[in-house]
Amino acid sequence: MRDPTALQTGRTRLATLCIAAACCCAALLGTVVADSRWLAALGDTILDDRRIPKGVPFASAPSAHWVNVPALGEIVFGLAHEVAGVRGLLVLQVLAVLIAFCVLAADMRAAGARDAGIGIALLLVIVAAFQWLFFIRSQLFSLALFPLLVALLRSESRLPSRRIWLLVPLVALWSNLHGAVLVGVAVSAAYLLVERARREILTAAGVLVAELVALCLTPGLWRTPRYYYDVLKSEAARRGVGQWASFSFHSAPDVILAVGAVPLLLLAVKARPRLWEWIALAELLGLTINSARIGAWLVLFASVPAAAGIRWGSERSATLAASVVTVAFAGLCIYGIVRGPLRSGASPRVLAKTLALARGTPVLATDQLAEQVALAGGRIWVGNPLDAFPRKDQRLYLDWQEGRPAGDRALTNAPRAVLVARDGEADRRLRHLGVARLVARDSRAVLYVRRS
Residue type, 385: P
List of residues 6+ apart from 122 with CB closer than 8 A: 15, 18, 19, 22, 101, 104, 105, 108, 303, 307
* Rounded distance between C-alpha atoms, residue 154 and residue 364, angstroms: 48
* Rounded distance between C-alpha atoms, residue 147 and residue 99, angstroms: 9
Q: Bridge partners of 421? A: 445
Q: What is the pLDDT of residue 16?
A: 78
Label residue 272 exposed, middle or buried (CB < 10 Å: 0-12, 13-18, 19+): exposed
CA angle 39, 394, 178 (to 5 degrees): 30
Q: What are phi and psi of 216, to 5 degrees?
A: -95, 5
* Rounded distance between C-alpha atoms, residue 257 and residue 141, angstroms: 20
Give the pLDDT of the chain (452 residues) as one tens digit per residue. 334 433 344 445 677 788 888 888 889 889 998 889 999 999 999 999 999 999 999 999 999 999 999 999 999 999 999 999 999 999 999 999 999 999 999 999 999 888 778 888 898 899 899 889 989 999 999 999 999 999 999 999 999 999 999 999 999 999 999 999 999 999 999 999 999 999 899 999 999 999 999 999 999 999 999 999 999 999 999 988 888 889 988 888 899 899 889 999 999 998 889 999 999 999 999 999 999 989 999 999 999 999 988 876 544 444 444 555 556 566 667 777 777 787 788 999 999 999 999 999 999 999 999 999 999 999 999 999 999 999 999 999 999 999 999 999 999 998 899 999 999 999 999 999 988 899 999 999 999 998 86
Helix (H) or strand (E) holding 64: none
Radius of gyration for the chain, computed over Cα atoms and rounded to the nearest angstrom: 23
List of residues 6+ apart from 249 with CB closer than 8 A: 255, 258
Q: What is the pLDDT of residue 20?
A: 84
Other C-beta atoms closer than 10 Å to the C-beta of 164 total 21
Q: What is the pLDDT of residue 76?
A: 97
> E strands, 359-444, where?
364-365, 417-421, 436-441
216, 219, 220, 221: CA torsion to nearest 10: 40
CA angle 21, 23, 24 (to 5 degrees): 60
* Rounded distance between C-alpha atoms, residue 359 and residue 23, angstroms: 41
Q: What is the pLDDT of residue 332?
A: 64
Q: What is the pLDDT of residue 13?
A: 66
* Rounded distance between C-alpha atoms, residue 390 and residue 157, angstroms: 44
Q: What is the pLDDT of residue 337?
A: 78
The model's pTM: 0.90
Provide the residue count of the chain.
452
Q: What is the pLDDT of residue 241?
A: 85
Residue type, 174: W
218-249 b/e (C-beta count within 10 Å ≥ 16 → b): bbbeeebeebbebbeebbbbeeeebebbebee
* Rounded distance between C-alpha atoms, residue 450 and residue 267, angstroms: 57
* Rounded distance between C-alpha atoms, residue 285 and residue 274, angstroms: 16
Cis bond leading into 385, ω under 30°? yes
Quick check: helix, strand or coil at residue 65? Answer: coil
* Rounded distance between C-alpha atoms, residue 398 and residue 394, angstroms: 6
Q: What are phi and psi of 363, to 5 degrees?
A: -100, 135
Distances (CA, A) of 23 to 5, 90, 97, 107, 170: 27, 11, 6, 18, 24
Other C-beta atoms closer than 10 Å to the C-beta of 377 total 10
398, 401, 407, 410: CA torsion to nearest 10: 90
